[in-house]
Amino acid sequence: MKNAILIVLFCFATVSVNAQNSNVNKANANIQNGKLAEAKELIDQAAEHEKTREKGRTWYVRGMVYQAIASSDDESVRAIDPGAAIKAAKSYEKVKIYEKEGSNYYTLSEIQAQQMYSIILNRGISLYQEENYKDAYLTFKDLTIIAPKDTIGYLYGGYCAQEAGELDDAFEMYYSAMELEDCPKLIYTQVMFLLENDKQDLEGALKIAHKGMEKFPDDQSFDKSIIAYYIKLEKTDEARQALIAALEVEPENANLWYNLGYLNGEIGAYDESVEAYKKAIEADPEYIDPYINLAYTYTSKAKEIRQEAMDMDLKTYQKEGAPIEAKADEYYKLALPVLEKANEVQPDDQAILESLSGLYIRLKMMDKAEAVQKKLVELGYWEDN
């Protein structure tokens, strides 16, 4: 009798296993037949049953079922399970738990996961192009779950949330992206913009600028933003002290001198700005930005002086304008060798060449102006008239 019971139990177990394997097969067949609701029901049973829940094939077919639901163009099919995309991605990850790397289902699951990613990405882009920003945001949010280390979903999702007027969701996307190793600069600058302009949170924007500077130490735009925020927050002394303290440690750091020059220029400290830019050039003669800003500082001073003459009526100008123009020219003459050196460092830079041409004309050095203009034509920046 005991043997008979064992045989019955064995047969029952075999039937149960076969039934679940059959469910996997039927679910797979129903994908092809378009019977996705039935396929979902069958594969979910198999994924929960103790005899088939630890098989790579079960999870692979489950991924295929949910991928078919998520990628359908028919809204009623997608409504079978609104979370289908995430379930598909997680199913493909499960395959890797039960299958050896390089096996058939392991490799296929990676291929399908990539296809799943492309499907969701393209749907998000289509929704965005249709200006359906809310659904586009939700789609890109799914993408962040499918590929949590890929910044594209966070970036696009945040932008779509912005367009939908959901700033909190946008910040959630952007801040999540900042936790990733390859978070792009654009996300930092976007958060800074939103904090400053939409939230009126300059302190928050300043903190993000500092994080951006740490993440991208060679990108001077964050340094400039930090200085700008300090100025707006009326904390210029803090900015100056921080730069001076840093320069005491790194007196040959051209970037620090450049930023000090920029800060002094922003608050109207002309002499200090000039001196700092000169120090930056001395520290690194190949560093182009201090040349440009120093030349700009000189020419801005010249324009400021000339403005007095420009505000005169003709009779007064004819009597008193020449000395003022001559005084302004002294500053244009200071700018000239700085721009010429900048041109040596970057000889084909359009902005430098055009500024140099204008300066030569201002100082009545027409031969040199014509030579620069000829070069602008040769480089294709200007048309030959």
Strand spans (E) along 125-284 = none
Its pTM stands at 0.67
CA-CA distances (angstroms) from residue 108 to 84, 85, 137, 161?
19, 17, 29, 34
- DSSP at 34: T
H/E stretch holding 91 reads helix 84-98
- Phi then psi dihedrals of residue 201, to 5 deg: -115, 80
Closest alpha carbon to 351 in 306, 295, 286, 280: 295
CA distance 378 to 322: 37
Rounded to 5, what percent of the chain is helix, strand, coil? 80, 0, 20
- Phi then psi dihedrals of residue 287, to 5 deg: -80, 110
Closest alpha carbon to 268 in 291, 305, 301, 243: 301
Question: How would you write the pLDDT of the chain (385 residues) with one tens digit per residue?
Answer: 455 444 444 444 444 445 556 788 898 898 988 899 999 999 999 889 888 888 999 999 999 999 999 888 888 998 999 889 889 988 999 999 999 999 999 999 899 988 888 888 998 999 999 999 999 999 999 899 888 999 999 999 999 999 999 999 999 999 999 999 999 999 999 999 999 999 999 999 999 999 999 999 888 788 888 888 988 898 888 888 888 888 898 899 998 899 999 999 988 999 999 999 999 999 999 999 999 999 999 999 999 999 998 999 999 999 999 999 999 999 999 999 999 999 999 999 999 999 999 999 999 999 999 999 999 999 999 987 6
Identify whether the C-beta of residue 319 lies closer than 8 Å to the C-beta of residue 265: no
Q: What is the pLDDT of residue 21?
A: 65
Q: What sign for the dihedral angle of Cα 201, 204, 209, 212?
A: negative
Two tokens, residue 172: 């959630």
CA distance 220 to 232: 18
Two tokens, residue 342: 């900048």
Number of Cβ within a 10 Å radius of residue 344? 12
- Boundaries of every domain in the chain: 1-98
